[in-house]
């Protein structure tokens, strides 16, 4: 409980408000939100790449050339993502669909081979079928699947915001009971 007491309830509320803002943006227009998320990730990649380049040039010791090259690659990937955000979003969803489909095939294969000794046979069969259906949807209609994935991100943002608000409430409640700033040795 000590770490809970030392956190700022205001910061947790801010995180919750940001989570709710993201959820509202996503729910208002999921297709555009996915492109915006891809653009944001591209910008982050560029910033990280430039930071790594600066760090490598500043230190110039050890394997600085490796870090320099890594920074350039991050910056180029970020630039490509920002230049082609719809393609990036569709490609990411396509690869996710491929992974989920392969996972479903592996689950069905395991179910067929091990159904006599497998502890959760019906659940494994069910998840295998669902994985293939979801993966196939993402593979053969990646942008529509991307919209669904974006809505799921919106639901996650609401859940995240709710947990941040609850954490802020718990911090405030603990401090009000006498936990104090940085104290709280008796809480555990």
State the pLDDT at residue 75. 93
By percentage, how much of the chain surpasses pLDDT 90?
Answer: 9
Q: How confident is the model at residue 185 (pLDDT cuts 50, 70, 90)?
A: very low
Q: How confident is the model at residue 179 (pLDDT cuts 50, 70, 90)?
A: low
Res. 120: pLDDT tops 90: no
Name the burial class of residue 20, with classes exposed (0-12), middle (13-18) and buried (19+) by CB atoms within 10 angstroms of its CB.
middle
Average pLDDT, the chain: 79
State the pLDDT at residue 118. 58
> Do residues 85 and 42 lie in contact, with contact meaning Cβ atoms separated by under 8 Å?
yes
Res. 72: pLDDT tops 90: yes
Res. 126: pLDDT tops 90: no
Rounded to an integer, the average pLDDT of 7-14 is 82
> Do residues 23 and 154 lie in contact, with contact meaning Cβ atoms separated by under 8 Å?
yes
Res. 52: pLDDT tops 80: yes
Res. 76: pLDDT tops 90: yes
Name the burial class of residue 15, with classes exposed (0-12), middle (13-18) and buried (19+) by CB atoms within 10 angstroms of its CB.
middle
- Stated as kind and residue range, the H or E segment containing 99 is helix 85-114
State the pLDDT at residue 19. 83
Q: How confident is the model at residue 26 (pLDDT cuts 50, 70, 90)?
A: confident
CA distance 137 to 100: 10
Q: How confident is the model at residue 182 (pLDDT cuts 50, 70, 90)?
A: very low
State the pLDDT at residue 135. 83
User: Is the model more confident about 171 or about 89?
Assistant: 171
């Amino acid at each position: 409980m000590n770490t809970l007491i030392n956190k700022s309830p205001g910061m947790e509320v801010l995180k919750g408000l940001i989570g709710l803002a993201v959820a509202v943006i996503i729910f208002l227009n999921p297709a555009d939100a996915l492109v915006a998320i891809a653009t944001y990730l591209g910008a982050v990649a560029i910033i990280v790449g430039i930071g790594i380049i600066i760090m490598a040039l500043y230190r110039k010791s050890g394997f600085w050339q490796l870090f320099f090259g890594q920074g350039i690659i991050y910056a180029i990937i970020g630039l490509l993502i920002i230049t082609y955000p719809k393609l990036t979003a569709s490609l990411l969803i396509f690869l996710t669909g491929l992974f989920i489909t392969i996972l479903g095939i592996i689950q069905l294969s395991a179910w067929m081979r091990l159904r006599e000794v497998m502890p959760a046979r019906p659940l494994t069969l069910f998840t295998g079928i669902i994985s293939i259906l979801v993966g196939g949807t993402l593979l053969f209609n990646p942008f529509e699947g991307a919209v669904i994935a974006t809505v799921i991100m919106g639901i996650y943002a609401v859940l995240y915001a709710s947990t941040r608000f609850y954490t802020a409430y718990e911090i405030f409640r603990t401090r009000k009971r006498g936990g104090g700033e940085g104290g709280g040795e008796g809480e555990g």
